[in-house]
Structure 1
Amino acid sequence: MASSGSPTGLHALFVTAPYQGHFAPAVDLAIKLAARGFVVTFACTEAFQHQRTASGASSPDHNDVFAGARARGLDIRYELVSDGLPVSFDRHSHPEQFYSALLHLLPTHVDELIRKLLLSEAPVDFLITDTFFSWATTLARKHGLPCVSFWTKPAFVFTIYYHMHLLKSNGHFASPDNRRDTITYIPGIPAIEPTDLASYLRETDTTTPLQQMIARSFEEVKRCDFVLANTVQELEEETIAVLQQEKPFYAVGPASADTETKRG
């Protein structure tokens, strides 16, 4: 682990996925970490911040999401990075190009941010990224940093993705035959029906950028140092216990900070 130059604590670079359902719990977890003495540099994409501003979710001063936390003395910095596409590009209408950018272009800009932070007065000590970033562990290892994966959904969903190889070997993943027999072989999960699987796991075309990103993400997450999940231990004890046999996996949810702390 790098030696932190910060007098207040270890420095985490937290890179969130550019979706509101991922951004919100990431913001809350970042505040919780800062409240426990960590220095946090929180990064999202320029395009997502532009989208938030245009929708009225954020003022033109993009630091407002952490203004309340900083007013309380928490050390949270906010950075914007390019996802490799122009801010004006219509990501909603061209999802395949957007997913391809997240897969292939965004990591270059995160790499540049890591390099900048390593040369700062408080060098970054570890990387936290959304689980769906399929390049996270590789990038962290490149810079000699521990890598933490942040999963924003229940552990139940994580373990289904984590065991995609079992779905494949049993013919339930991307099956052209649309198998309908009950799935009983995923560790830590009771019997579920194929129709309970996320639509991504039922698509037959596995060559799309989205499918590649999902598949690579769950290969990459097996190499991360540990996983933090936005779930509650008591609600998913069995699933979490089984996952912990595979990977250090910790429930840290619900990741929600009080409104006064979170908003400026």
Structure 2
Amino acid sequence: MATEKILQKRRPHAIMISLHFQGHITPFVNLALKLASKGFSVTFVHHEFIHHMLSKSHEEFDLFSDARESGLDIRYTTISDDFPVEFDRFREREEYMEYILRDFPARVDEFVGKMIESDPSSASFLVADTLYSWPETIANKYDLVNVSFWTQPALVFSLDYHFELLKENGHFPCKDDIEEEIKYIPGIESINAMDLMPYLKEAEMDTIPPKIIINSFRGVKKADFILHNTVYELEPTTLSALNKNQPNYAIGPISFSQNHAKANPIRSHSFWPDSDCTEWLASKPPGSVLYVSFGSLVEASKEVIQEIAHGILLSGVYFIWAIRGGVTDAFPDGFEDKVKDKGHIVPWCNQIQVLSNPCVGGFLTHCGWNSIQESIWCHVPMICYPLSYDQFPNRKLLVDDWKIGINLSDGVSINRAGVSENVRKLMGASTSGGLRAEVRKMKDILRNAIENGGSSDVNFEQFVKDLKARLHAMD
């Protein structure tokens, strides 16, 4: 028993801190499970207000109870941001992200310092979100190995990583309406300026995201290891170019990794309670339902929602629309009455369960990276309407490069007639057959990558080996 305790104490120990957005938390939770399954101890640190949201949405909430029951060493704790619980951090994004950039690093410093003071063996490496500005400073101060985890495609990482190169060539800030091809970023053959993230453009230069990118990517260039929630075969040239600078490991899709299946990675950790759509879907023909969701973060304008709603009605297809928090006042007057049995509107749902249902034939998506991976995994083609952040280059990957989706609009305007036409196109047999064939190829790539001996499996094993070697060298 004494020997067992000594071995437990010597086990390499990770402190993990995700950014507070749903699209970041989900892969972080699954990376924690993956690391613990490889014998690491993990302390997973949630923002206190996120824990409060999750506890309200899910009865008997314990994020890692199944993992601990299966023998994994995952501790769970929270960190305060000193804002009152009722402060809406998502609606007041600019103010809150300014705090995250300016004041949150001191809170993390205090938290890590107290943790190590109470137990010097409680941490040996840090796994932090790439978009934080503080990991390099904290890791250096407390002698921790610095592991940066990027939750979006490598394409987006590379564009941010090379922001100084974009600046030298007049593309940061980029003029809002130019359509120049950018061909000088290492590992990216070409990307149109229209497909850059909005925070790289002139219109958003006075907002907080550009400041975050500049600060975080100056720091990440000094990280010891960089993990990517993508698959090497999907972005080989981009990842190969990045590897010339630092150790980068494509380990995705982390949320589907079979090596921690016993820890129940599909347990819901969404911010809102899930609605069960199974019974409604059971009454519909295979491949006949369009699933609509614009994610958990950015809201489309009322005008856009109304045109999309009218367009879906005109198309005549069955649909499930998950609208965040059940905020339906953006819909046209009487919309919910008009849809009758054609539509099923829910506040939130388990997206994987819906996408994996054989009745679902298409996904109208904002092009968030988690949603893209889930749709590919479930063999569902997409119709794309990006709203912000990484979603515009993600659209480029889906539609232009991988040919597994179509655009909802022409990119200039959105109107109900165009929406109806493109929804019919996505759901129609002539188009959907070709898209489904391409999605199947992508699905096979994702599934093969996480099998034993697949690229993501091999990359994760190499990361573990390299990390242990670095930790041993620091002893």
Q: TM-score, normalised by structure 1?
A: 0.90
Task: Give the Cα separation in 2 of the matches to 1:84 and 1:214.
Answer: 24
Q: Which of 125-134 and 250-259 deviates more?
A: 250-259
In the alignment, what sits opposite 1:195? 194
Task: Give the Cα separation in 1 of the matches to 2:189 and 2:207.
Answer: 30
Q: Deviations over 1:201-249 (max 9, x none)?
A: 1244434333211211111101111101101122222111100001111
5 Å-filtered alignment, 1:160-179, equals: 160-176=159-175, 178-179=177-178
In the alignment, what sits opposite 1:48? 50
5 Å-filtered alignment, 1:107-126, equals: 107-121=105-119, 122-126=121-125
In the alignment, what sits opposite 1:140? 139
Alignment partner of 1:37 out of 25, 36, 39: 39
Task: Give the Cα separation in 2 of the matches to 1:128 and 1:80.
Answer: 15
Larger radius of gyration: 2
Q: Deviations over 1:62-109 (max 9, x none)?
A: xx1111100001010111111242221122232111101111222222
SS at match of 2:77: strand
In the alignment, what sits opposite 2:81? 83
Task: Give the Cα separation in 1 of the matches to 2:231 and 2:75.
Answer: 28
Task: Give the Cα separation in 2 of the matches to 1:232 and 1:105.
Answer: 35
**Higher RCO, Cα 8 Å, sep 6+:** 1
Task: Give the Cα separation in 1 of the matches to 2:78 and 2:9.
Answer: 25
Q: Which of 68-77 and 207-216 deviates more?
A: 207-216
**Residues 43/223 of structure 1: CA separation in 2 closer, same or farther (3 Å cut):** same
Unaligned 5+ residue runs, structure 1? none
In the alignment, what sits opposite 1:251? 250
In the alignment, what sits opposite 1:261? 264
Task: Give the Cα separation in 2 of the matches to 1:242 and 1:175.
Answer: 23
1:208 partner amino acid: T
Report % sequence identity: 42
In the alignment, what sits opposite 2:214? 215
How far does residue 60 in structure 1 lie from its aligned partner after superposition?
A: 5.8
Q: Which of 138-147 and 31-40 deviates more?
A: 138-147
Aligned residue pairs: how many? 257
Alignment partner of 2:66 out of 58, 68, 79: 68
Task: Give the Cα separation in 2 of the matches to 1:180 and 1:253.
Answer: 31
Unaligned 5+ residue runs, structure 2? 1-5, 269-475
Q: Which of 101-110 and 9-18 deviates more?
A: 101-110
**Alignment root-mean-square deviation, CA:** 2.1
Task: Give the Cα separation in 2 of the matches to 1:244 and 1:126.
Answer: 21
Alignment partner of 2:99 out of 98, 101, 108: 101
Aligned partners of 2:177 and 2:194 also within 8 Å: no
How far does residue 116 in structure 1 lie from its aligned partner after superposition?
A: 2.4
